[in-house]
Homo-oligomer: A and B are copies of this chain.
Amino acid sequence: MGEEVIISNKQVILKHYVSGYPKESDMELKNSTIKLNVPEGSNVVILKNLYLSCDPYMRGRMKKTEGSYIDSFTPGSPITGFGVAKVLESGDSNFQKGDLVWGMTGWEEYSIVTPTQNNLFKINDKDVPLSYYTGILGMPRMTAYGETVFVSAASRAVGQLVGQFAKMLGCYVVGSAGSKEKVDLLKSKFEFDEAFNYKEEHDLDAALKRYFPDGIDIYFENVGGKMLDAVLLNMKLHGRIVACGMISQYNLEQTEGVHNLFYLISKRIRMEGFIIFDYFHLYSKYLEMIIPKIKAGNVVYVEDVVEGLENAPTALVGLFSGHNIGKQVVMVSSE
């Protein structure tokens, strides 16, 4: 495999398990080195990381969890997550030097990954921004492929697409978000029918009644807590709740209790959680559907791209105060 190449590799390390809101100081930048060769007989792939995805689910990996759908991060090691990368060397015949890929990688300049069926995907269509493969063309966005009506955290990575897909399906779509700027974005750019700033609503129940005088058929749940309680009061009979995330709860040591669950019974509501991993088999169909729409401008996708691995901790922390507008991405390198 040629000459041994060792180069410097900047990494973002999780220092320790986190309680409460994560802070930049929970992470540190470390200058490490990496050998850019595939050992004889190994099937690893050596990646140069280009874009990294910041996602709320990563909060769960910052604490010690058991039996979760995904492992905790390892304190002292780099954070891992979805990203876009270029293949530098490959011991796996499915990937060649020069390929662009997206999948599970490290928060570092270079990563060594052992490909499995579900952790690394070759990028074939390069005619769209590469960063999109951390978002609309990558992991979290396949989750939006379905119908909805009320969407919380609606300007974020998932919410913005849920709303647009629901509109394509002919739904009346209302979104909530945490600032005037985001609410304006929902209405002007993503073409939601209505949107409101939940921080300015003292009574979420009253806000929902204003926009849904006849009730909500479908709630796409991204936030949990008080919003879920208010939504339960406003669901229609036989309504459906798609449980995708509960970001309002991730940083609380003791989660808020949800008090209105009896409405699941009295209104015969179905509430079901899902994780994108269960739907990877639909990914190629999803790409067939979405790429032409992106190219034709029928789907709008807003990213908040921060440049430089050194800014990755701030970007990740900012997710939980709603600092980002649209999908939060870190550009490690543009090529």
Is the Cβ of A264 less than 8 Å from the Cβ of B272?
yes
Expressed in whole angstroms, the Cα–Cα distance for A266 and B249 within the complex equals: 14
A154 within 8 A of B: no
Is the Cβ of B268 less than 8 Å from the Cβ of A245?
no
A-B contact pairs, 11 of them (CB 8 A): A69-B237, A69-B266, A224-B262, A246-B261, A246-B262, A255-B261, A257-B257, A265-B273, A268-B274, A270-B270, A270-B273
Q: Beyond A256-B257, A271-B271, list 9 extra A-B contacts (CB 8 Å).
A: A68-B266, A69-B266, A69-B268, A243-B261, A246-B262, A258-B258, A265-B274, A267-B273, A270-B271
Residues of the B chain whose Cβ atoms lie less than 8 Å from the Cβ of A278:
268
Instruction: Scan A274-294; emit 1 where CB is below 8 A from any B CB, else 0.
Output: 110010000000000000000
A116 within 8 A of B: no
Q: How many copies does the complex hold?
A: 2
The one of B249, B263, B275 that contacts A268, using a Cβ cutoff of 8 Å: B275
3 tightest A-B CB contacts, nearest first? A257-B257, A265-B273, A264-B273
Expressed in whole angstroms, the Cα–Cα distance for A264 and B269 within the complex equals: 14
A259 within 8 A of B: yes
Of chain B, the residue at the smallest CB distance from A233 is B67
A254 within 8 A of B: yes
Is the Cβ of A270 less than 8 Å from the Cβ of B268?
no
A85 within 8 A of B: no
A309 within 8 A of B: no
Of chain B, the residue at the smallest CB distance from A269 is B273
Residues of the B chain whose Cβ atoms lie less than 8 Å from the Cβ of A174:
none
